[in-house]
Amino acid sequence: MLTGLSIRNVVLIEALDLAFARGLGVLTGETGAGKSILLDSLGLVLGDRADAGLVRAGEDLASVTATFEFAELPDALRAALADAEVDVEPGEPLIVKRRVKADGGSKAFVNDQPVSVALLREMARSLVELHGQHDDRGLVNARGHRALLDRYARAAVGEVAEAWDRWRKAEDELATAVAQVEAARAEQDLLLAHLAELAALEPVVGEEDELARARADMQKGEKLSDDLSALQHLWSGSDSALATLRGAARRLDRIANEHPLLAEALESLDRALIEAGEAEDRITAAVDALAHDPLALDRIETRLFDLRAAARKHGCTVDDLPDRMAAMRTALDAIEGGEAHIAALQRAAQEAGLDYRAKAEALSVTRAEAARRLDKAVAAELAPLKLDAAKFHTAVVRLPEDRWSSLGVDAVEFLISTNPGADFAPLAKIASGGELSRFILALKVALAEEGGAATIIFDEIDRGVGGAVASAIGERLARLASAGQLLAVTHSPQVAARGNAHYLIAKSSEGTVTRTSVMLLDQAGRQEEIARMLSGAEITAEARAQADRLLEQA
């Protein structure tokens, strides 16, 4: 609820700090005192358009700060703040601030974090519900009527939404499967041809790299063939270097015992022979690895060309070709088994559709029954509010199938007829300002709405009425406020007497400077203000006595 409102340099208000509590708060004052300035100021923090005309004359900047406190943030408000990445700790007050410059520029903040004006407008639905002479929001807006009726009926909207989601999902799965089968069937011949080509090719993952290495080795062998032949000649034959070393080793072995140096020489020669033998083996292996076989090279290059050509054709790498083959087989299998799969999906979609229809029909019945109860409840409130010639009707209309949704198959709108025999029409189109506010009050009382805005404001709901009607309005405002917070701008002493808190709005002048102030009245102040409202400029003893009676009856 709204717990504080601080205004700086807005039109006639230089500096004003107000505290609000639960229950019914009434704001009174003479015409032109500045009640509209308070509402305009509150409208700024609720996202209304910034108007440079709101900045007090001679000042550069106007600002309005509203403080809201909740035992627990409403779900819609929490979601809006989370989407905007605004952090609000549990139990922490929500402080909304708007600054307007004299040139019309404005900035908005929530808990000192800069935010967009669009966020303020989204938050406003959970913060303040304003009903005034030209209100086009809240209960007047037909877009919210279905949700209000469902809340009044305690309807199982969640079950319908879940059934709708299941039906949509089943229909989407069916449409996807049908599209896949149709696309595959259109390409069936091409798939068969491509699969036959790849099956004949038999690509293997890693084969490209192996072939490329083998080709590279053969190409190197071709370049090194003369050197390799010369090396092999050096190491083979009776006149090779290795044969000479071996002969030297045999001769040295016969005389090695004759002197230690000869034995050491033999050992060195043996080591050399071992190393030379290993070198010979490696050279032989290299000759084999680098063997240049023109026919084998041609086969390798042909294989590489075929694999890479197939990869280009299918827009993938050579290593991806086996997966492409598997995908083609899957697509062909889908064609063969697609009809059975589609039939199963069709049955599932049909069952989901029937389930949705059954739950939506049950919801329609619940809505129709609740609409009759609501019409009766509102009708009971109209006569005391001097609307006894008017009629109220909750229209529950079946929508065409293409407009069904998770909210069901109905459109809901609150309609009124203000004169006997007149057609029913939307609230805002045929009700005058005063009638509209009283219709809304009747609706609010009948709905006993839960889950609406934290604070409700009625602006001059009692315009043009008095006596018993004003008393009825005051009694209903107090009843609504008992469960939360309601602020009423009023000219009616009967309404003012019902308030838990009474704020007096006054205008004063000093020379050429005019200021608006707001004062929280004590009991004596309330008596005096209500007496003024009863008698006018000259407050009489009879007016004070009548004010006392109104306050005692409240």
Query: What is the per-residue DSSP string for 409-420?
Result: SEEEEEEEE-ST
CA distance 82 to 150: 27
Q: Which residues have CB under 8 Å from 468's CB, separation 6+?
A: 384
Q: Residue 442: which of 426, 429, 427, 421 has the closest Cα?
A: 427
| Structure token pair of residue 462 | 């009692």
Of the listed ranges 56-65, 94-103, 231-240, 266-275, the least confidently predicted one is 231-240
CA-only gyration radius of the chain, Å = 46
Q: How confident is the model at residue 430 (pLDDT cuts 50, 70, 90)?
A: low
Which is higher by pLDDT, 287 or 408? Answer: 408
Whether 503 shows a pLDDT value over 90: the answer reads: yes
Average pLDDT over residues 11-18: 89
Of residues 451 and 210, more confidently modeled? 210
Q: Please determine, for residue 272, whether its predicted confidence score (pLDDT) is greater than 90.
A: no
d(CA 24, CA 474): 10
How far CA 251 is from CA of 62, 256, 261, 273, in Å, comes to 116, 9, 15, 14
Least confident of 81-95, 422-436, 456-470: 422-436
Tokens describing residue 367: 């809505």
Mean pLDDT over each residue of the chain, to the nearest integer: 85
| Band of residue 366 on the pLDDT scale cut at 50, 70, 90 | very high
Q: Which residues fall within 8 angstroms of residue 40, CB to CB, at 6 or more apart?
A: 10, 11, 48, 54
Q: Which of 432, 551, 445, 538 is nearest to 497 (CA)?
A: 551
Q: Mean pLDDT across the stretch 412-439? A: 79
Q: Which residue has the higher pLDDT, 225 or 154?
A: 154
In this prediction, residue 185 carries a pLDDT of 75
Q: What share of the chain has pLDDT > 90, as a percent?
A: 35
Give the residue, 487 or 132, on which the prediction is more confident: 487
CB atoms within 10 A of CB 5: 19
Q: In this predicted model, which residue has the larger pLDDT, 553 or 197?
A: 197
pLDDT of residue 502: 95
- 131 is written with which tokens? 């009903």
Whole-number pLDDT of residue 283: 72
pLDDT, tens digit (0-9, with 9 covering 90-100), for 16-37: 899 999 999 999 988 766 778 8
- Residue 452 has a pLDDT of 66
What are the tens digits of pLDDT across the range 507-526?
A: 887 766 778 888 999 999 99
pLDDT exceeds 50 at position 136? no
- pLDDT, tens digit, 9 for 90 and up, residues 289-310: 666 667 877 888 889 999 999 9
What distance lies between CA 466 and its chain's CA centroid? 47
Q: Give the pLDDT score at 347.
A: 94
Phi, psi of 64 (to 5 degrees): -135, 130
